[in-house]
Structures are given as structure tokens and as C-alpha cells.
Structure 1
């Protein structure tokens, strides 16, 4: 579920925080990295739990109206299409969601007004009413599309949801849009058997090993990497280089030296993109130039041990 790009970004944030506050131990920041990563999974299940609680609220409203002293004919025979939506039922009844939510104490109980507000917005929306009143029985695609549209047009568009999430966890600010896309993809993948398959946090064990090894090796050799940067960026005083650039380049050096299965081209592209979005206006050009020179140095020193060494030769002229 969590991509290597995001694993690199989370490393960047934690290494940057460590350098800003060097009094903290490496073990402490390693735990912060773990929290930052597991919080991604927490957010994924938090969005599903929000859907479940909206569904539960809509069902409760139906039951409340039925129990009125003088219910109308419509209240006695409500439209149950969304309540009985098989894709939504797959989410509500999924044992993995239930277990994760229970074990990690994920709840929207402190945000009942928000749940009611979202439920009302859904009931008032055009897409929901088209789904509810269409004459023919909705097909498999339509059942999923109404849930996806709730995620994209109601939940993702709600400032109140974002504010509530910010209060729940400091780790979620940068992850919300990406995690929502994972929830949407999970719904899209529901097959006609209507069995949900929640995504795993890591794609495989290699990704899990990668993220923590990248942190350990970058922090352990950070001073050495700064010497490499100093020699490579000879026209710059080291203290004039943005701290974030130093972090990004150090991560890049670690990856080039220690992960032979990752092509040089991939490493360069990833860290140049990170510099573009997380550092100064000209950082991507600076990081690009420095990393290109470091790649040449590592290759000349036989320190660029790549499974497919030809990748560098084919791609070096593209940077």
C-alpha cells in the first residue's frame, strides 16, 4: 500500500527532524519513523471507519423514523438501496477492518456532529439521489461508484474532515490525499463476490527492510556523506547549502551505495523530485548536479554496485 516514494519522504522528514534536534537519540527517531509509517495504515482504516459510521447513522435514522408514533408510508417502507448496497456491506462486515479498528481504538465517537453533517450532505447530493431512485437495479459498477463518489466529492472535499484528522494525529497532514486514493482503489477492486481485500501496509518484506535500512545507514554515515557533498559541491560552502538539500543528497548517497537492486536512474529521479517539492526553488537543479557527480565518483571508485550496471550508462545523459 505504502509506496517507496512515500517511504523515502518519511525518511527525509525524520532525518531532518533529527538534525534540527540532535539531542534526541537515534532510537527515539527510529521510533518516530515507525509511528509515521504505521499512522499511514491507521488513516487508511480511519477513512473506512468513517464510511461505516455514516452508514450506521443513515440506518439509525431509518429506524428512528419507523419508530415514530405516526410514521408516514414512506417512513414505514424506506428506500434501503444504499443501506443494502453489497459493496458497502462488504466494508461494514469486513473482519480485518473490524479487528484493526478495535485493536487500534479507531473511532469517530468524538465527531458525531461531523458524521451527521456528512450523512446529510450525502442525502442531499445529486449523485446519491440518482443512485437511490434509478428504476433499474444498480449494477456492480454503480454500487461501487456511489461509495467512491462519497469519498471523492463529500469526504475529500470536507474541510471539517481535514480539521478533525489534524486533531487526531500530527502525522496525517501529508498523507490524507494519498491514503484516500488507497481507499478508493480498494473499493474499485471489489469483485462481484463482494469480498473486500484491504491493502497491506507494505507491498512486500523488501519495502519494509528498505525503509528502516535507509534510515539507519543514512544517520550512521551522515558526517561522511557531508564530506562527499562538500568535495562535490566545491563552489558552495557547506553551511550555505540548505539543510533539506543535505538530507536529500545524503539519502541519495545511501541508496546509491547500499541498494544494488534499485537502478541509479530511479534513485536520481526520486530525490530530484523530492528536492523540487520539499526544498528551495532551485534545489532540484542543485541536487541533480551534485548527485550526478557523486554517481560518477562512486562508479570510478567501484562503489556503485548495481545488479544491472548498464542502467547508469544508458541513462546518465538524460540528467
Structure 2
């Protein structure tokens, strides 16, 4: 949804830029020695913008008959320039969508690596001071990650690294000052329960709560704020999967069938954009009290995605689709969006079933109640 929203935002921005370019063809020539009729040029710029919009909405036949040929020429030229940008933008935001998904996996490994970096720093500091007692080096969770070949391979494959100076600063300013850190460090012999509690505190109160660390991840991952909840769940599950012997950790995945889900995302993205005109017409027809332009852009995107999903993915129950997009509207759109999206999808799903455009197989796949 975010990728499609970004595409539409760029689409509108490019439309306005090209419209302005067309109008700018009739700016006064500052290098001309002749007197410029500024009022006439101003009217031509206004008419060019109007013609540009008319061609876009209704084609060349919608242009007023007495429109000057040079105005039509410039309007058509820059409208074509805008249209040529659309496939490029679509590809760009599709790639960025996939890149953002990969960033979640990268952040997951990087966040888990954080505890290893902290342990290595502490080990180095204790070694310099000749201190042999080190609960951090014996921590079962850290030991489990260190000896996990699968985790270390992922770390190497993704080329996950931390800046040493940053780790030193965070350790000194945010971790070493914590009471739980001092208590764990001073334990004569930490038990597994102590190991687990220390690591959980490290992540819950420092990594996922500290404002400076939040800002660090936001600067490298635009989706950090929304992804943080998912990442926290993934990281804590992995931590809790390691037992007192430092067993092989359970490495989490975004999906059990990632290749299939990736194909689904790509197809849904393409359909919601490629079929935009048809989808908007369907929404317009059923939203009797609303002009399509007045429907919130987020609502339109949610509805277009939902219709595409209902009509093109036979294994997903209609009820599941409707409920999922209602949840999206509650989270990302306006306060009244839930009722609007729910009502429209109910009506559309019934009509599309009657038209034979929703084809599901299996019990419960058609029920939307």
C-alpha cells in the first residue's frame, strides 16, 4: 500500500511539473529586443494549463475549437513527457518496495548482532584490565548465536557490520549506566534465567526504546517505525529459543512461503496500478454520494487493492480480503474509512460474484459475511 501510495504521489507531482513546463513555454523572452505583450502571454499560459488538463481527461477532441495550434502542441508534448515517466516510476517504486522488505530481514540480523558486538567490546575492556570474571562471555544466548553456523552465514551473506565507535558510545552512555547491567556484571555466577533476563532487558529497554537508537535505524530504514513491532517480535522469539546449553537459535523469517508471497506482492502491485482506471470506475459507480476525487487517496488505494485481490487470487477467501483491508483502513486512513471501505467492499463483492468475476473454490471462500 505504501509503495502504491508513493507511486501515486510521484505521478501527481510529475503531472504538475510537466503542466508547468508546458505553461512556461509562453513566458516572456527576457533576451528579446521586442516589446513583450505580458498580458497576452499570461492568458496563453493559463489556456495552456487548461488545454493540458482537457487532453488528459478527454483527449484531443475535448479541446475548445479556437485553441491556438502552438498551445495544443506544447500541451500534448509535455503531457506525453509525463506519460513516459509512468512506467519508470512504477518500476522504481516496485523495486523500492522489495528493497524495503529486504531491509526488515537485514535489520533483524543486525539487531541480533548487536549483543555480540557489545559482548566483544566488554571482553576487550576486561582483558585490558586483567579481569577474568565475565558473565557476558558465558551468556547462553550470546554463546548460542556465536556458534550458530546458520546465523553467522546470514550475517556474512548480508555483510552486517556495526561501527565500533557507535557501539562504544551506546555501551557507555545507555547500557553501562543501567542498574540491570551492573547487577548482571557483578553476579558471582549467572544462571540461565539471569542470562535470558539480561538479554531481554537489553533489547526491551535499550535497543527498542532508546530515542537515539530509534533515530539511527530510522536514518537507514524509512520503514523502521512501522517495522519495529515486527522486528521486536522476531528478535525476542529468537532469543527465547536458545536454551541454557546455548542451543541452535530459531531464525525467524518474514514468511514461511516467501517466494509465493513475493509473487503475490508483485502481482498485486502491478494490478492495482495497471487496472487503475477500471478500478476507479467501479468505485465511482458504487460510491453514489462521493465524487471519486473526494475519496481519500488511501481509501482508493485500499479499495483498488482489495478488488484486485478478490478478483485475481482464487485461494484467498472473500471474507479474509475484506477484513484485512478494513484493518488497513483503520490503521492508515481517516476515522470514517472503516465504514466506507466495509460498505463498499460488501456491495462490490456481491456484484462481482454475480458477474462471475470472483471465482473461488473451496468451502468458505465466497462468504463475505
Aligned mates of 1:234, 1:62 — CA distance in 2: 72
Taking a change above 3 Å as real, the CA distance of residues 310 and 203 of structure 1, as seen in their structure-2 partners, is closer
Aligned mates of 1:90, 1:50 — CA distance in 2: 14
Matched, 1:59 2:115: no
Matched, 1:32 2:123: no
Counterpart position of 1:122: 175
Aligned mates of 1:158, 1:92 — CA distance in 2: 25
**Per-residue deviation, residues 51-73 of structure 1 (Å, max 9, x unmatched):** 2211111111111211xxxxxxx
Please show how residues 1-319 of structure 1 align to structure 2 within 5 Å: 12-22=1-11, 23-24=85-86, 25=88, 26-66=90-130, 75=131, 77-78=132-133, 80-109=134-163, 112-118=165-171, 121-133=174-186, 138-139=191-192, 141-191=193-243, 194-204=247-257, 205-308=259-362, 310-313=364-367, 315-316=368-369
Taking a change above 3 Å as real, the CA distance of residues 122 and 37 of structure 1, as seen in their structure-2 partners, is same
Counterpart position of 1:3: none
Counterpart contact for 1:245–1:279, Cα < 8 Å: yes
Greater relative contact order structure (CA < 8 Å, 6+ sep) = 1
Counterpart position of 1:72: none
Counterpart contact for 1:39–1:172, Cα < 8 Å: no
**Per-residue deviation, residues 70-129 of structure 1 (Å, max 9, x unmatched):** xxxxx3x42x222211221112333333333333333221x6245443366434434344
Taking a change above 3 Å as real, the CA distance of residues 304 and 95 of structure 1, as seen in their structure-2 partners, is same
Counterpart contact for 2:118–2:167, Cα < 8 Å: no
| 2:250 alignment partner, SS class | coil
Counterpart contact for 1:57–1:119, Cα < 8 Å: no
Taking a change above 3 Å as real, the CA distance of residues 311 and 99 of structure 1, as seen in their structure-2 partners, is closer
Q: How much has 1:244 moved relative to structure 2?
A: 0.9
Taking a change above 3 Å as real, the CA distance of residues 147 and 245 of structure 1, as seen in their structure-2 partners, is same
How many residues end up aligned between the 2 structures?
292
Q: How much has 1:275 moved relative to structure 2?
A: 0.9
Aligned mates of 2:113, 2:234 — CA distance in 1: 14
Aligned mates of 1:174, 1:32 — CA distance in 2: 16
Aligned mates of 1:15, 1:227 — CA distance in 2: 18
Counterpart contact for 1:53–1:115, Cα < 8 Å: no
Taking a change above 3 Å as real, the CA distance of residues 257 and 84 of structure 1, as seen in their structure-2 partners, is same
Cα RMSD, aligned residues only: 2.2
Aligned mates of 1:136, 1:115 — CA distance in 2: 25
Aligned mates of 2:282, 2:358 — CA distance in 1: 15
- Segments of 5+ residues of structure 1 without an aligned counterpart are 1-11, 67-74
Counterpart contact for 2:135–2:190, Cα < 8 Å: no
Aligned mates of 1:61, 1:46 — CA distance in 2: 22
Aligned mates of 2:364, 2:218 — CA distance in 1: 46
Aligned mates of 2:162, 2:328 — CA distance in 1: 34
Aligned mates of 1:126, 1:254 — CA distance in 2: 53
| 1:39 alignment partner, SS class | helix
User: When the two structures are superposed, what TM-score results if normalisation uses the length of structure 1?
Assistant: 0.83
